[in-house]
Every structure is written in structure tokens, then in C-alpha cells.
């Protein structure tokens, strides 16, 4: 019996240690989320600057507010496929912005447009605009990774935007006749606007999701660890109080 209790106790301690470790990990995730939210708030609350005033360090570019001035090159624009809005299929228009005196373009996500197959737009010219001045936006860094081809193959009307599955800096740079910046811009606007206007519906600003569920998950793991230990102790104590005869099969008391 002593060996059995020792084994039960050892398993409970190991299980509780693992649960505590998971709880601590959730607390670390909570700290990371709080730090990210603090950075996000600081950058989105900061003053609007020109693109030329952005820091050179790519790690500090994300979510900074900027104003865009230049001319859209809509002969070389893309549509980012498979994007939904309020349950409706659509695409994002991603257009190079050419700036005077600068050979490097900035790709601008101009927003969402309805597309029945989430790939093709019936009348791309409807969503085109030329020069822009002091248009508000925020910048983000290019996503990393991704597998498979970027460009969606298939026939498309002459002059239609190139459909792509994801934002991929090297892949999109190969499709353009000029270099592009190591970041892209996202237009700011009224995200509640109707989808059938003459402008794409802007993408909402990154949301502050508070602290997520990390704290509640950590509490749950700590509770499970305490429950495992308390339950094991209660079982062993109950087993020790049980008369030794109760563990017998009782065959000797059987009356034929």
C-alpha cells in the first residue's frame, strides 16, 4: 500500500507541476499582450508624420500613423483575395503609390470591395483614383512566411488587377517595374460606410483586445493543479483510514 500511495503522490505532483507551468506560461503571454497593447496605443495615438519621417528601424514601423501624398499606379495594382466583411466575400485593393522625387513605391491597402467569388472585381475602373494628398493611413510590416504560389492563376480581363493570395514582399516586388518599401500602408477611413460607394471600404484600425483570456486560463491551470494535489491527498488519507479487511475480496464470508 505504501508503494501505491507513493506512486499516486508522485503522479499528482508531476501533473500539478505541469499545470503550474502552463499557468505561468499564460501569465507570460498576458505580459506580452499588455506590452503589445501599450506599444499599439502609443503609436496609434502619436502624431501623424510623412512617410519620409518614419524610423529606419523596421521593428518600430508597425502601426505608426502617416499621411500619404502621391499618385496611385493602378496599372500595377493587386487584389488580395479571399477577404470577408460582415459575412460578405470580397477583396482588398492593394495599389502602389508613387511619390514625387522618390523611385521607391509604397504599396497601399485601400480597403475592401465586394467580389462574388472573392477573387475578381466586375468593374475595377470604378474603384480607381489618381493623385492623393495628405490622406491618413497607418503602416505595417510585411508578414513573414507563407507557402504556395502567391499569384492566383487563371484568366482575367485586360487591365484587371493581379489577384494574389497573400502579401509577400519578394513575390510582389518581382511583379513591379520599380522597388517598393519594406512596409505597406493601410488607409484610414469610415469603416461603417456602405460597400457600394465609389471608394473601397477602409480596414478597421487594429483592435485593442484588452488582455485576452490569458489571466482566466492561468487561474484555471492553477486551480487544476491545486485540485490534483488536494484530491490525491484526500484519496490517500481516505485509503489509510479504511480497515484492512475492506480490501479483501470477502470470499471467506461467502455462504455456500
Tell me: the pLDDT tens digits for 102-117? 999 999 999 999 999 8
> DSSP 3-state assignment of 129?
coil
pLDDT the model gives residue 81:
93
pLDDT the model gives residue 232:
87
Q: Which residue has the higher pLDDT, 109 or 232?
A: 109
Shared domain for 29 and 127, answered yes or no, is no
Q: How confident is the model at residue 250 (pLDDT cuts 50, 70, 90)?
A: very low
Shared domain for 71 and 179, answered yes or no, is yes
Strands (E), the chain: 49-50, 65-72, 78-85, 88-99, 102-114, 131-141, 162-164, 180-187
- Would the pLDDT of 248 be above 70? no
Q: Name residues whose C-beta falls within 8 Å of residue 235's C-beta, 6 or more positions apart in sequence.
A: 8
Q: Which structural domain range is residue 77 located in?
A: 64-187
Counting other chains too, the contacts that 152-155 makes at CB distance below 8 Å and 24 or more residues apart are: 152/81, 152/119
Cβ atoms within 10 Å of 96's Cβ, excluding its own: 25
Q: Does residue 161 fall inside a structural domain? A: yes
% residues pLDDT > 90 (the chain): 34
Shared domain for 32 and 74, answered yes or no, is no
∠ CA 177-180-69, nearest 5°, is 105
Please state the rounded mean pLDDT for residues 9-24. Answer: 91
- Would the pLDDT of 177 be above 90? yes
Shared domain for 73 and 32, answered yes or no, is no
Q: Which of 19-28, 45-54, 158-167, 189-198 has the lowest mean pLDDT?
A: 189-198
Please state the rounded mean pLDDT for residues 193-206. Answer: 72
Shared domain for 117 and 165, answered yes or no, is yes
Question: Taking the complete model, does pTM exceed 0.85, yes or no?
Answer: no
Tell me: the pLDDT tens digits for 22-75? 999 999 988 888 887 887 777 777 778 888 888 777 777 888 889 999 999 989
> First-to-last CA distance in the chain?
31
Q: How many domains does the chain have?
A: 2
Please state the rounded mean pLDDT for residues 180-185. Answer: 92
Shared domain for 104 and 176, answered yes or no, is yes
pLDDT the model gives residue 235:
82
Tell me: the pLDDT tens digits for 145-155? 666 788 888 77
- Would the pLDDT of 255 be above 50? no
Q: Does residue 8 fall inside a structural domain? A: yes
Shared domain for 21 and 72, answered yes or no, is no
Shared domain for 148 and 226, answered yes or no, is no
Q: Does residue 69 fall inside a structural domain? A: yes
Amino acid at each position: 500500500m505504501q508503494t501505491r500511495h507513493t506512486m499516486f503522490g508522485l503522479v499528482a505532483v508531476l501533473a500539478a507541476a505541469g499545470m503550474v507551468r502552463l499557468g505561468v506560461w499564460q501569465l507570460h503571454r498576458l505580459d506580452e499582450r499588455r506590452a503589445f497593447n501599450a506599444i499599439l496605443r502609443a503609436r496609434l495615438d502619436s502624431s501623424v508624420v510623412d512617410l519620409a519621417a518614419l524610423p529606419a528601424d523596421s521593428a518600430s514601423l508597425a502601426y505608426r500613423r502617416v499621411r500619404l501624398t502621391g499618385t496611385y499606379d493602378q496599372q500595377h495594382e493587386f487584389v488580395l483575395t479571399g477577404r470577408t466583411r460582415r459575412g460578405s466575400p470580397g477583396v482588398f485593393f492593394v495599389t502602389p503609390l508613387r511619390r514625387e522625387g522618390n523611385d521607391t513605391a509604397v504599396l497601399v491597402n485601400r480597403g475592401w470591395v465586394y467580389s462574388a467569388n472573392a477573387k475578381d472585381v466586375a468593374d475595377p475602373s470604378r474603384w480607381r483614383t489618381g493623385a492623393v494628398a495628405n490622406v491618413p493611413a497607418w503602416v505595417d510590416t510585411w508578414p513573414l512566411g507563407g507557402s504556395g504560389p502567391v499569384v492566383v492563376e487563371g484568366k482575367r480581363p485586360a487591365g484587371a488587377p493581379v489577384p494574389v493570395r497573400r502579401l509577400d514582399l519578394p513575390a510582389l516586388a518581382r511583379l513591379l517595374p520599380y522597388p517598393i518599401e519594406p512596409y505597406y500602408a493601410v488607409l484610414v477611413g469610415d469603416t461603417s460606410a456602405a460597400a457600394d460607394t465609389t471608394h473601397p471600404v477602409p480596414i478597421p484600425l487594429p483592435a485593442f483586445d484588452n488582455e485576452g483570456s490569458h489571466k482566466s486560463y492561468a487561474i484555471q491551470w492553477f486551480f487544476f493543479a491545486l485540485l490534483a494535489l488536494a484530491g490525491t491527498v484526500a484519496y490517500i488519507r481516505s485509503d489509510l483510514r479504511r480497515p484492512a479487511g475492506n480490501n479483501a475480496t470477502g470470499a471467506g464470508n461467502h455462504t455456500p
